[in-house]
Structure 1
């Protein structure tokens, strides 16, 4: 086993978390910048309606590609623990099965998307004037989704090997290529929504090409043909842990459907565009917290597999402290600069007037979300699929969706915005209870 993966069980936790989290954070930052600038270009060069269209389409493509992320995170939990227990054969078998499962499911999903594109777009909220630009963006992006799914799967395996810098590069490359191609296709060639979609699909392929190069030339996992043959036990273990991630993305997709329809009902296309801006800011602003969470996963998984429970305990407390500190800084920045942020995306006066207050409300509970994210991630890293699933679904599934369905009936659009911090607070309280109990009972 390479020295890089052994370090997960020997380096000082604080140094190790920095080593794992900083590259992950930078990678997520560039991915978020990519999506953010994409939205800015679309909003400034095509119009606010285009932002609404992208907001409808991206949850669909992310749902399909999240199959790769789910299989990647589920398999990577097994790989981290297998490397910790020095079981190289299990790690190789898991990786081979991950790859085959991702290819099969991604291609099947794309075929379904092609045959039922109108129905899918309508389901996700392509109402009124949003429908045509959404369809124009959806079709080219759909062809690139298998490459995105394979990239998401491969990226988590790279981290499980203890090579976060390569995982970071895999996220930076498509960000740069997408931004450059956006400028060429939208600004200079005037290809509109089709150009934005084409740039996105090509960037997905660029990411896949880099990850393929890594596994051929730099990875310590060199599977043979026998490792690619699907085995029921391995598939079941990957699926049970991966289902946690896919269930979360599935719930996010359901939330997107409910949000888009609710926003359109109470505020029309403008409200869908407003949330389109806010959702991009959520992805962008929370990048360091998500980076800490990604950095935490292989550390916790490896040390849990090696039965070094004191190190697992330390990694939990350290990760929560750092992530909470970063989240507080982000909240203050959003609070102060909300109005300036919104003007970057659009020149539409109504959207500029209404978005800042909604942005502040949605970010109101962000200082405490670290507990919920790290807590759910621990149970996944430890291979405890059921509690990981339940805690992962707590915010969006158990709290946010019911709140979004109920509160707008009484408070209109404000009811949508206030649902987010309420769900954050409730989910954090639930996760804190179960995480504290686990640390006292198991990690001693």
Structure 2
């Protein structure tokens, strides 16, 4: 037995042996449920904030770009770690897997320090660049909210690091448990912190941020505990630790395209806010509400992604083509069903969705047609999301990055800007379906290329 295999467990990892259909749902369902609860928290959070005022809702909505960047760095690093860890486990190289985990922990620590500094320095200029001095109340509310989230983001980085370790080894039930604990903590604390219940001071928008941070810390503690007790395939040890530049480079080779891909969402939301604020702050609030509602339908799909990434990567490492292809097919079908529900809701009950956020008559007038137009892209988005996951799992995350750049920067923002000038606010929303069509075409081309150059060359193997 080789040195690399000396610590291998006796039993084969379930990602190489369990029937694929059962495995996909065994891995993904816990993640989908936890993501759904996380999305529910996001919606509840905004519902409570909307009860304060529309300005409070707008302030939180304008925080999305930097919040998205924060989450992008944490989850994108996790994508790189996941892909390398699962591939190493598929190759039964457990020593390398442990080393990957140690270096990923180092990366997460450095990432937090960066956002700690940004939380103290960049938030006020960030809000000023979006709204200037047009509304001091919105700016002050937003600065209080976003500064709190960024300065205390150590909980988020801890949570995502340990959850991705658990996911890499197929222990998604524990990842789900940690996310549920964090989200439920958030939901319970939101009204208490925002409105000053049970003897707590009324903190308003800042209370929403404090509830978020506490929830993330709880999730991080639960995920770390579960990893220590139950994840025996990967162990952390920092005795004599020195960063391995080569491994960090490999993590980022997969992770940076994912970080960029998600960070592009930050640029997109920032740019859309700049376009919409020219019409009214209500238009920006509608865009913020759309993002919250979108998360409710997309987060389960992202949970599916988190579940299938290690499956595809593991079986790629184990050279099992049939298992990879069946995983992709099942994922595509499941993702379509989930996004189709979103399409039906956006088309059928937009008034109901908006009224959950205490929508004014003006907000309903803008929001109802906006949701119906944007909702069309749900009929296509499912394919692009799963295709991007396949690219990442096979170490071709740069393809996902290209698709994301095409969709959100090359097409969406220019289309939104042009439409805002020639047709006004009511046609700006068509930029979303237009961008999704382009994304579909490019994703299909890349997926065909991936099949020809990588998947088709792998032995068929077993199911």
Task: Give the Å deviation of 1:197.
Answer: 1.6
Question: 2 CA distance for matches of 1:170 and 1:235?
Answer: 26
Task: Give the Å deviation of 1:127.
Answer: 6.0
Q: Alpha carbons of 1:42 and 1:87: their partners in 2 closer, same or farther (altered >3 Å)?
A: same
Match of 2:332, SS state, is: helix
Cα shift readout 1:248-296 (whole Å, capped 9, x = no counterpart): 122111111101111101x221111111111100111223322222222
Q: 2:27 aligns with which of 20, 35, 42?
A: 20
Q: Alpha carbons of 1:2 and 1:124: their partners in 2 closer, same or farther (altered >3 Å)?
A: farther
Question: 2 CA distance for matches of 1:125 and 1:63?
Answer: 19
Contact 1:300 1:312 in 2 (8 A): yes
Q: Residue 33 of structure 1 aligns with which residue?
A: 40
Cα shift readout 1:52-81 (whole Å, capped 9, x = no counterpart): 111112331331242221111111100000
Task: Give the Å deviation of 1:321.
Answer: 1.7
Question: 2 CA distance for matches of 1:193 and 1:126?
Answer: 20
Cα shift readout 1:390-412 (whole Å, capped 9, x = no counterpart): 23433223322332232212122
Contact 1:66 1:246 in 2 (8 A): yes
Task: Please tell me whether residue 185 in structure 1 is matched to residue 193 in structure 2.
Answer: yes
Q: Alpha carbons of 1:137 and 1:346: their partners in 2 closer, same or farther (altered >3 Å)?
A: same
Q: Alpha carbons of 1:4 and 1:412: their partners in 2 closer, same or farther (altered >3 Å)?
A: farther
User: Where has structure 1 moved over 4 Å in runs of 4 or more?
Assistant: 1-5, 124-127
Q: Residue 142 of structure 2 aligns with which residue?
A: 134
Question: 2 CA distance for matches of 1:407 and 1:227?
Answer: 58
Q: Alpha carbons of 1:197 and 1:441: their partners in 2 closer, same or farther (altered >3 Å)?
A: closer
Q: Alpha carbons of 1:361 and 1:211: their partners in 2 closer, same or farther (altered >3 Å)?
A: same
283-292 or 130-139: bigger deviation: 283-292
Residues 82-231 of structure 1: pairs in structure 2 closer than 5 A: 82-123=88-129, 128-129=134-135, 130-187=138-195, 188=197, 189-220=201-232, 221-225=234-238, 228-231=241-244
Q: Alpha carbons of 1:376 and 1:124: their partners in 2 closer, same or farther (altered >3 Å)?
A: farther
Question: 2 CA distance for matches of 1:128 and 1:143?
Answer: 26
Contact 2:335 2:382 in 1 (8 A): yes
Contact 2:117 2:151 in 1 (8 A): no
More helix by share: 1
Task: Please tell me whether residue 376 in structure 1 is matched to residue 388 in structure 2.
Answer: yes
Give me the TM-score of the superposition, normalised by structure 1: 0.95
Contact 1:65 1:152 in 2 (8 A): no
Give me the TM-score of the superposition, normalised by structure 2: 0.91
Question: 1 CA distance for matches of 2:10 and 2:346?
Answer: 41
Task: Give the Å deviation of 1:2.
Answer: 5.2
Superposition CA RMSD, Å: 1.9
Cα shift readout 1:12-40 (whole Å, capped 9, x = no counterpart): 21111111121111011011011100000
Contact 2:64 2:269 in 1 (8 A): no
Match of 2:349, SS state, is: helix
Task: Give the Å deviation of 1:202.
Answer: 1.1
Cα shift readout 1:366-394 (whole Å, capped 9, x = no counterpart): 12212111111111101124323323433
Number of residue pairs aligned between Structure 1 and Structure 2: 442
Which 5+ residue runs of structure 2 have no aligned equivalent?
A: 1-7, 457-463
366-375 or 404-413: bigger deviation: 404-413
Task: Give the Å deviation of 1:125.
Answer: 5.0
Contact 1:72 1:154 in 2 (8 A): no
Question: 2 CA distance for matches of 1:133 and 1:62?
Answer: 18
Cα shift readout 1:317-357 (whole Å, capped 9, x = no counterpart): 22112211222232112211111111111142211232121
Q: Residue 8 of structure 1 aligns with which residue?
A: 15
Question: 2 CA distance for matches of 1:3 and 1:121?
Answer: 55
Residues 14-413 of structure 1: pairs in structure 2 closer than 5 A: 14-44=21-51, 46-123=52-129, 128-129=134-135, 130-187=138-195, 188=197, 189-220=201-232, 221-225=234-238, 228-265=241-278, 267-413=279-425
Which 5+ residue runs of structure 1 have no aligned equivalent?
A: none
Question: 2 CA distance for matches of 1:423 and 1:357?
Answer: 18
Q: Residue 418 of structure 1 aligns with which residue?
A: 430
Contact 2:130 2:270 in 1 (8 A): yes
Q: Alpha carbons of 1:410 and 1:139: their partners in 2 closer, same or farther (altered >3 Å)?
A: same
